[in-house]
Amino acid sequence: MKRSNFYLVVIVASLNFVFASCKKEVTEVSLDKTTLTLVENETAMLIATVKPNNAANKNVTWTSNNDNVATVNNGLVTAVAEGTAIITVTTEDGNKTASCEVTVDKAGISTTPKSIYVVGFGMNANGGAKFWKDGVMQNLTDGTREAHAYSVFVSDDKDVYIVGFERKTQSMQSIMVAKLWKNGVVQDISDGTRDAIALSVCVSGNDVYVAGYQRNTQAGFFVATLWKNGVEQKLATNTSVASSATCVFVSGSDVYVSGYGGTGDNAKLWKNGNEQDLTGATTNRTRAFSVFISGNDVYAAGYERISSGNFIAKLWKNGKAENLSDGTYSADAYDIYVNGNDVYVTGTGEGTVSGSQFAKLWKNNVAQNLTDGTRDAAAVSVFVSDNDVYVAGYEENAHGIFVAKLWKNGVAQNLSDGTQSILAYDVVVK
């Protein structure tokens, strides 16, 4: 026994030496951008990469040489006023630095033209996944099979990433395959052996993150799933009950995912794979459909189902819930965008006994109806650029057909002609 203990000590000491020898000093730090142009109140994320990958201490600090022009918090740059500022990241180990020159233009003045990107899908069996750029629609699929596009991300290099699903028939079974389109070129995210749907995409540096859900077996429960560069990670701690990942947001080195599921079918937030229940003290069913990070604040939007059967639109900030509606009529919150001190949330809300749904936009918890409530409508996504507020969604026309819609500062534009039901589901302006 003594000899065994001696060997054990030697082995542990040797392993500790090996592990210690694997930890390296920092040699350099770099940023994903060296120049950045913003307008007042606009934000952008800078991503720092510390090398080598096995550096013992990757902690960094961020500074701006002119807080009157642009501030920085954990890599999130906020444009304050017209001018130029240098954002610098410094490593704690070795004081290595990298910088980005930030140019801020006055609000409403953009030095580069921006485009409006929208994705959605047709409602009929062969409606297909849709993509609009500046109001011009194109089909992502050939329309022979059901396909949906749910989320779009546009990089600084104007690469367009879109995710959704398309059905295929395999061994006499109809299976939903999670899909990623990059600049119109499609690739499978899931292997096609089980149903899988991709709901959200976010790109950080060279990494592509996709959130959605996939069955745990061919006929089993859906499980909240995150794919990073095509590699699958199950997020739910309990895979024996249904769950879903609804939205992914990358802030610095942290990956946030919203969703719901588990026992009680509750709203969830995952940070770097660690699950947090947003439900709090309530025993009511809750769901989170989106997540947004601004500085050190984590926002999520969704709903709570109360005892009357109605839904209350919810906003969570750092885990604390706020009601956006009072429960008199049902309301849902679908998407969130934070611009400076303003928090925008989109969703739906019933406003009459007949139950017709308004498309709704909340700004700092104050509701605005985007439609008159005579026909069903929904506001699904929101994006703010140059102080203009863009909302994507849909509204039923007089013939009972849903028309894809884009609202800019409350003014509606039809994206489809109303001959077949088409929904707009996400909008980005870049």
What CATH number does the domain containing 58 carry? 2.60.40.1080
For residue 391, count CB atoms less than 10 angstroms from its CB and return exposed for 0-12, middle for 13-18, buried for 19 or more.
buried
Same domain, 190 and 244: yes
Instruction: Please check whether residue 201 lies inside any domain of the structure.
Output: yes
Per-residue pLDDT, 413 = 97
Same domain, 68 and 214: no
Instruction: Please check whether residue 85 lies inside any domain of the structure.
Output: yes
User: What's the pTM?
Assistant: 0.80
Per-residue pLDDT, 354 = 57
Encode pLDDT of 306-347 as tens digits. Answer: 988 899 999 999 999 999 999 999 999 999 999 988 999 999
Same domain, 131 and 274: yes
Per-residue pLDDT, 108 = 62
Domain count, the chain: 2
Per-residue pLDDT, 17 = 41
Confidence of residue 238 (pLDDT cuts 50, 70, 90): confident
Confidence of residue 253 (pLDDT cuts 50, 70, 90): confident
Same domain, 93 and 225: no
Per-residue pLDDT, 171 = 64
Same domain, 289 and 395: yes
Instruction: Please check whether residue 181 lies inside any domain of the structure.
Output: yes
Same domain, 178 and 226: yes
Domain that holds residue 43: 28-105
Same domain, 212 and 327: yes
Task: For residue 286, give both structure tokens.
Answer: 């809750």
Same domain, 52 and 124: no
Same domain, 88 and 145: no
Three-state secondary structure call for residue 159: coil
C-alpha atoms less than 13 angstroms from C-alpha of 345 in its C-beta half-sphere: 31
Encode pLDDT of 362-401 as tens digits. Answer: 999 999 999 998 899 999 999 999 889 999 999 999 999 9
Q: Which of 105, 136, 157 is the last residue of a domain?
A: 105
Mean pLDDT of the chain: 89
Per-residue pLDDT, 5 = 43
Instruction: Please check whether residue 1 lies inside any domain of the structure.
Output: no
Instruction: Please check whether residue 407 lies inside any domain of the structure.
Output: yes
Give the residue, 394 or 174, on which the prediction is more confident.
394
Which run of H or of E encompasses 7? helix 2-22
Question: Is residue 196 predicted with pLDDT exceeding 90?
Answer: yes
